[in-house]
Amino acid sequence: MTARQRVDALAKLQTLSSDEHHLLRESGLTDETVWAPKKEHPLYKLVTSFKSEVKTYYYWGQECRCCYCSSELPKHGRSFDAEHILDKSTYRQFMFNLNNFGVACPVCKTRLRRQIIIVTHNANLIVNTDADQVIVAKCGPHRPGQLPEISYQSGGLENPDIRRQVCEILEGGEAAFKERARRLRVRM
C-alpha cells in the first residue's frame, strides 16, 4: 500500500463517528483540559482515539516528514507527535479541527515552546532545522603572546552573506542548500 492510498483510506475518521467528533469539538470550547484528560475523564477514550488517528493520518499525508523542517520521521510514533498549527489554548474552537494539525519532530515541537541554542560545526543541522538566527564565528590568525581575534556575523538564512558562509561549511555545498529550498518551496 502506498502512502497516497493510506491517506485516502484515512480521509475520514475511522474510529470516531461524526457525532463523537462534534462532541469533542464542543467540549474543546468549554473545557481546556479535554486535550490531555486523565483516565477517569468521560472523554478519555475518544480523545485518545482521535489523537492516534490524527497522528497516523498526518504522518502518511506529510509523506513521513516533519511539517516544519521536512526531516524524515521514524516509523515508530514515539518520536513525533500531532501538533496544533493554531495554538489550542488561544484558539480553543480549533482544538479538534482536523485542518489544524500536522506531525512534527521533537526538535521543531520543542522549538515552538522555547528557545533552543545549538552550537555546532554542522551546517546541515542549521539548514535542516530552519534556524531563525545564525551566528558565524571566524577566528583570525594566531598572534604571538595574544589570543586570536574572533569576529562574529549574525542573521537569518535569508541573508545572502550568511547563506554563503553556511554553504561553505554545508556538506554538499550550495547544491544541497538549493535542494532544501526547493523542497520547502522557498525562493533563495
Neighbours of 86 (CB within 10 A): 14
Residue after which a domain boundary falls, among 71, 92, 112: 112
Q: How far apart are CA 2 and CA 8, in angstroms?
A: 10
**Does 132 reside within a domain?**
yes
Instruction: Give residue 188's pLDDT.
Output: 59
Contact 151, 145 (CB under 8 A): no
Contact 21, 47 (CB under 8 A): no
**Does 188 reside within a domain?**
no
Burial of 72 (0-12, 13-18, 19+ CB in 10 A): exposed
Instruction: Give residue 59's pLDDT.
Output: 86
Statement: residue 184 has pLDDT above 70 = no
Residue after which a domain boundary falls, among 112, 128, 143: 112
Instruction: Give residue 185's pLDDT.
Output: 60
Same domain, 121 and 172: yes
Question: How do residues 81-137 score in pLDDT, each as one tens digit?
Answer: 788 878 787 888 888 887 888 888 887 777 666 677 778 777 777 777 767 788 888
Same domain, 142 and 63: no
Q: How far apart are CA 114 and CA 112, in angstroms?
A: 6
Same domain, 105 and 121: no
Same domain, 7 and 86: yes
Same domain, 132 and 96: no
Structural domain containing residue 169 = 117-183
Question: How do residues 1-51 score in pLDDT, each as one tens digit?
Answer: 344 544 444 455 666 777 887 888 888 877 777 888 888 888 888 888 888
Q: How far apart are CA 10 and CA 6, in angstroms?
A: 6
Number of domains in the chain: 2
- What's the pTM? 0.54
Rounded mean pLDDT, 143-167: 86
Same domain, 16 and 52: yes
Same domain, 77 and 138: no
Q: How far apart are CA 115 and CA 124, in angstroms?
A: 19
Instruction: Give residue 78's pLDDT.
Output: 66
Same domain, 176 and 94: no
The candidate with the shortest Cα–Cα distance to 108, out of 122, 93, 125, is 125
Same domain, 87 and 37: yes
**Does 153 reside within a domain?**
yes
**Does 127 reside within a domain?**
yes
Contact 83, 73 (CB under 8 A): no
Question: How do residues 57-85 score in pLDDT, each as one tens digit?
Answer: 888 888 888 888 778 888 776 677 788 87
Give the ranges where 44-134 is alpha helix by DSSP (H).
44-61, 106-113, 123-128
Same domain, 176 and 89: no
Same domain, 50 and 135: no
User: Measured between alpha carbons, how far is residue 88 from residues 23, 36, 111, 127, 133 in Å?
Assistant: 16, 11, 17, 28, 27
